[in-house]
Amino acid sequence: MTRTGDGALLLLRHGQSVSNAADVFTGWSDPALTDLGTAQARAAAATLRDLGIQPTCVHTSLLRRSIRTAEIVLDGLGLGWLPAYRSWRLNERHYGALTERDKLTVAAEAGPATFRQWRRSYATAPPPMSDAAAARMYADDRYTRLPPDARPRTESLADVRARTLPYWSDVLYPQLLSGATPLVVGHGNSLRAFVMHLEGMAPADVERLDIPTAVPMRYRLGTRGQPVVDPGGRYLDPIAATEQVRVGPPAGTAIG
């Protein structure tokens, strides 16, 4: 296996979580991976290994489905010792009052138009989380040191993009310019925000974008330092990616 060493950015959505399987809004809640999610992470490692792609460091959110997926992938590559960076900026979109609620129930209560706006629109955020629920969430040790403006009560995809882009410009982009190959193990919406930026997508286009579960993506830097998609497409296992998108968003593949 050889290092890419040419400014390649690897993106990977975490494996299926318990909440994904139950088809509830996950957001900043912290469920574990399912057995299927663990298998998906191992398959992602196999894809990278078979293609001879080796990251030089890993970045995760503060949520264990992201952290555990990264651990499984690195173990599968024999790279458990790589430097690991964790940030709240890579967390999933905060679903506010919808967090941990069943999606079918929410859809029935809100109606199809409002439900779609909450789930898929670029600029519309769900109703905010209650004071009591937010107090419980942010009492967690991983968040107690965050400033108030880094503790959302709800987010749109535009909000997610606003908090992820500083991580791109301040952390990931400098690593890429140095020739590193960072692996970012994120979430459906945090990765949608990155892809939107990397590919210059308009809001209407990103609203239609799904990120398949645990299918590695790769981007390279262009001749002027700009991030560009590989000529063969963003996915390193295009068949797996196509299968997930073609069957639509059932439990375990839906965003959120």
pLDDT of the chain, 256 residues: tens digit per residue: 334 446 699 999 999 999 999 999 999 999 999 999 999 999 999 999 999 999 999 999 999 999 999 999 999 999 999 999 999 999 999 999 999 999 999 999 999 999 999 999 999 999 999 999 999 999 999 999 999 999 999 999 999 999 999 999 999 999 998 999 999 999 999 999 999 999 889 999 999 999 999 999 999 877 666 777 776 678 888 888 877 755 444 333 345 5
Q: Count up the domains in the chain and report the number.
A: 1
Domain limits for position 171: 9-246
* Integer Cα distance of 227 and 12 in angstroms: 17
Q: Is residue 251 part of a domain?
A: no
Listed residue (63, 66, 68) closest to 80, CA to CA: 68
Q: Annotated catalytic sites, by residue?
A: 14, 92
Residue 252 domain-assigned?
no
Residue given tokens 């799904």 in the structure block: 210
| Domain-located, residue 145 | yes
Q: What does pTM read for this prediction?
A: 0.91
Report yes or no on 255 lying in a domain: no
β-strand 217-221 against 227-229: which pairing, if any? antiparallel
Domain assignment present for residue 131? The answer is yes
CB atoms inside a 10 Å sphere around CB 80? 14
CATH classification at residue 48:
3.40.50.1240
Q: What are the structure tokens assigned to 83, written together?
A: 């430097």
- Tell me if 208 is assigned to some domain: yes
Identify whether 1 is part of a domain. no
Q: Is 110 within the bounds of a domain?
A: yes
Q: Are 107 and 81 in contact (CB under 8 A)?
A: no
